[in-house]
Amino acid sequence: MAAAMDLQFSDLLARLYAGIGDEQPWRGFLEALAGWMDATFATLIITAPGKRQPATFLTPGGSADFASIYAESLFADDPFQGLADGIVTSYAEFMAGLPDHAFAEYRRTMAETGFDQVLGIDLHFGRAGGRVDKGRRDDGRYEARFRISRHNALPDFNREDRARLQMLSQHLRIAVGLFEKLQFAGAQHGVFHATAQGLGLALIVLDRSRRIVSTNALADSILAENEGLMRRNGELVLADPAQQRRVTGMLGDDALATNPGRTRFRIERPGHGDLVVTARPLDVRAIHAGAGALALFLARPGPEKSTDPQALRDLLGLTVAEARLTAVLAQGHSLVEAARQLGIAHNTAKVQLRAVFAKTGVNRQAQLVALLASLGG
């Protein structure tokens, strides 16, 4: 005789897998998880190693004030972390293993909130999105921490509660991995759109470990030339060691904090013609807090072409208005002429141009036009 299906558990899994692609991912699942565990709140924290703030902190129904305080200050001092991968652990037993005087402020804050009855489960992910190998906790990982909380006026979690949460462990791991892939695919969408709009640029997208995630046809032909840059065992390799270090540095944990826009450099190739490379970090904040993911746009310097505002917007990180102005200026018009053509005030155009200068790293209109020419249009 077949075992009876747990309809609540089935519904919970449906919410888990369906919810990761929602406009507000995880919210519906966390609400259902709290109900399934007879808990007050369920929380998801996603973070990269060494971060002072989480990439994601979500507690549906929780206090917005506490969420802000936790993310800004308590998160960095939270001792309830580094749990054994995929194993349910209680806050009480974890803290009991620490000296009584340790983390006094954190203990006091948790007690004052009344929500110091907590079950936790941590999932550690490596470079390829899979489980981190034992002893390699710094392997480009990120963590997903699930926390289930009850108010201390309610009964504490028991062995059965822990077993229920443990049943979800592998499902949570799969769902977080899928969420990362969706986040990364979404970040790629804009840069693919830029090339599709007619700039005629080669595009190479790298993940955090310098592996080539995707290319377009023009990039494939350039890589096949094996001069200046090449594909080796699935990774991008640059012939110039300094440029190799530069790209690797842009894939570091703090790349977006130190270089939020883009950087440009030239690859000299006597045999097949030089390339101008524009590198733009892809911000995948919901999962990596800005760590890794890089788009490289490659162009052979040549004569100016008509410039598509949408492509400029995606490539250089401009607003719609700034991209329109830049496209007109690229045709050789003065700022006065561009303002008249766009139907905006001259002062408005000046403000927009200053913003474009700040985002592209140039100081004069002639430099901006030269930059656009070097990008192939």
Q: What's the pLDDT tens digit per position in 11-23?
A: 899 999 988 877 7
Give 351-360's long-range contacts (Cβ < 8 A, gap of 24+). 352/319, 352/321, 352/322, 352/325, 353/325, 353/329, 355/318, 355/319, 355/322, 356/316, 356/318, 356/322, 356/325, 356/326, 359/261, 359/316, 359/317, 359/318, 359/322, 360/261, 360/262, 360/316
- The answer to whether residue 377 scores a pLDDT higher than 50 is no
Q: Place 369 in a pLDDT band, splitting at 50, 70 and 90.
A: confident
- Answer whether 7-167 and 188-301 agree in fold: yes
Please give the model's pTM, rounded to 2 decimal places.
0.58
Please tell me the predicted confidence (pLDDT) of residue 302: 57
| Per-residue pLDDT tens over the stretch 129-165 | 455 544 444 444 688 999 999 988 899 999 999 999 9
Say whether pLDDT at 334 is over 80. Answer: yes
Q: What's the CATH number for 7-167?
A: 3.30.450.80
Which pLDDT does position 304 carry in this prediction? 44
* Residue extents of the structural domains in the chain: 7-167, 188-301, 304-377
CATH T-level assignment (fold) for domain 188-301:
Beta-Lactamase (3.30.450)
> What would the mean pLDDT of 215-231 be, rounded to a whole number?
90
CATH T-level fold of 304-377: Arc Repressor Mutant, subunit A (1.10.10)
Q: Note the pLDDT of residue 372.
A: 73
